Amino acid sequence: MKSTDVRALSADQLNDELAKLKKEQFNLRFQRATGQLEKTSRVREIRRDIARIKTIARQKLAAEAKA
C-alpha cells in the first residue's frame, strides 16, 4: 500500500483498513507458529503498512487540531 493511497482515505476508512491489517497480521503470526506460512515477506509488508496508516492518521489528527 502506497502512502499516497493511504492519504486519500478518510479517518473512518483508515480505521477500517487498520483493523483489517491487524487481523491479517494475527493470521500470519498464527500461520508462522504452526509452520504453514509460505510467503514470509508478507509479515514485514503488513507491519510496515500498519505503521504507515498509524503515522498518516496521526498527521491528519494533528492537522485538524491545528486548524
3-61: pLDDT as tens digits: 999 999 999 999 999 999 999 999 999 999 999 999 999 999 999 999 999 999 999 99
| Domain that residue 55 falls in | 1-63
Please, where are the H alpha helices in 1-67? 3-7, 11-34, 41-66
- Residue 41 sits in a domain whose CATH number is 1.10.287.310
pLDDT value at residue 31: 97
pLDDT value at residue 34: 96
Distance (Å, whole) CA 62 – CA 56: 10
pTM: 0.91
Count of structural domains, the chain: 1
23-35: pLDDT as tens digits: 999 999 999 999 9
